[in-house]
C-alpha cells in the first residue's frame, strides 16, 4: 500500500548569508562585473568611432578622386574645344559646343560626404563651371569676339588647372596616405 506522504525538502544551509565575507565577495563580484562592462563598452565605442572615421575618410577619398578625374576630363575637353575652334575657325560655334560631363558633380548634390569636402574646392569647381558656361554662351552668340572669348576661356582653364585641380590632387593624395596609415588600401 502506497502512502501519499509529502516529501520533505532538504534543509538549506543559509548560515553563509549572515557572514561578512560572503557579502564582501558578492560586492567585489558586482563591482568587477560593472567595471568590466564599462571598460568593454568604452573600448567598443572607441573602435566604432575609429571605424566610422576611417569609413568617412575612404568615402571622401573616392568622392574627391572622382571629382578630380571628372574636372580633369572637362579641362581637357575645353582645351580640345579651344584648339579645334582656333584651327577650324567655324562660322557657327554651336556646332563645336563642348560636351562636358557633370555626372559626379551632379551626384555630389545628394551625397552626405560632399559637405566634408573643403569648400574651397567646391566653390572653385562651381565657379569654373559657371564661368566657362557663360563664356561659351557669349562666344556662341557672338557677344564676345572669337579670339577674346577663347583667350578668356584658356585663362579660366589654366587657373582651375593650376589652382583647384592641383590642390584637389594633393588633398586626395593626403587622404590616401592617411588611409594607408590605417591599413586601408585604396586605388
Please state, rounded to an integer, the average pLDDT across all residues of the chain.
89
CB 156 within 8 A of CB 132: yes
pLDDT in tens, 115-128: 899 999 999 999 99
Tell me what pLDDT residue 42 has: 84
Q: How far apart are the first and last CA of the chain?
A: 88
**pLDDT (mean) for 166-170:** 96
For residue 165, is pLDDT > 70?
yes
Is 70 exceeded by the pLDDT of residue 5?
no
What mean pLDDT do residues 160-174 have? 96
Report pLDDT for 58: 92
The sign of the CA dihedral 71, 72, 75, 76 is negative
Q: Where are the domains of the chain?
A: 59-181
Lowest-confidence region among 4-8, 28-32, 69-73, 165-169 = 4-8
Question: Which residues, 6+ apart, have CB-to-CB distance to 57 below 8 Å?
Answer: 175, 178, 179, 182, 184
Q: Which residue has the cell 568611432?
A: 49
- pLDDT for 15: 67
Amino acid at each position: 500500500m502506497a502512502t501519499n506522504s509529502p516529501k520533505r525538502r532538504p534543509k538549506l544551509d543559509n548560515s553563509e548569508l549572515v557572514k561578512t565575507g560572503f557579502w564582501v565577495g558578492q560586492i567585489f563580484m558586482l563591482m568587477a562585473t560593472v567595471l568590466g562592462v564599462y571598460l568593454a563598452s568604452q573600448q567598443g565605442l572607441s573602435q566604432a568611432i575609429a571605424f566610422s572615421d576611417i569609413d568617412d575618410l575612404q568615402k571622401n577619398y573616392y568622392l574627391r578622386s572622382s571629382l578630380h578625374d571628372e574636372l580633369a576630363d572637362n579641362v581637357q575637353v575645353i582645351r580640345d574645344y579651344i584648339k579645334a575652334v582656333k584651327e577650324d575657325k567655324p562660322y557657327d560655334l554651336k556646332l563645336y559646343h563642348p560636351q562636358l560631363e557633370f555626372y559626379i558633380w551632379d551626384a555630389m548634390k545628394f551625397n552626405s560626404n560632399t559637405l566634408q569636402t573643403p569648400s574651397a574646392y567646391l566653390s572653385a569647381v562651381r565657379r569654373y563651371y559657371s564661368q566657362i558656361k557663360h563664356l561659351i554662351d557669349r562666344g556662341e552668340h557672338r557677344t564676345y569676339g572669337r579670339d577674346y572669348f577663347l583667350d578668356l576661356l584658356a585663362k579660366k582653364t589654366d587657373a582651375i588647372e593650376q589652382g583647384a585641380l592641383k590642390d584637389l590632387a594633393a588633398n586626395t593624395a593626403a587622404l590616401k596616405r592617411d588611409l594607408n596609415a590605417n591599413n586601408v588600401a585604396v586605388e
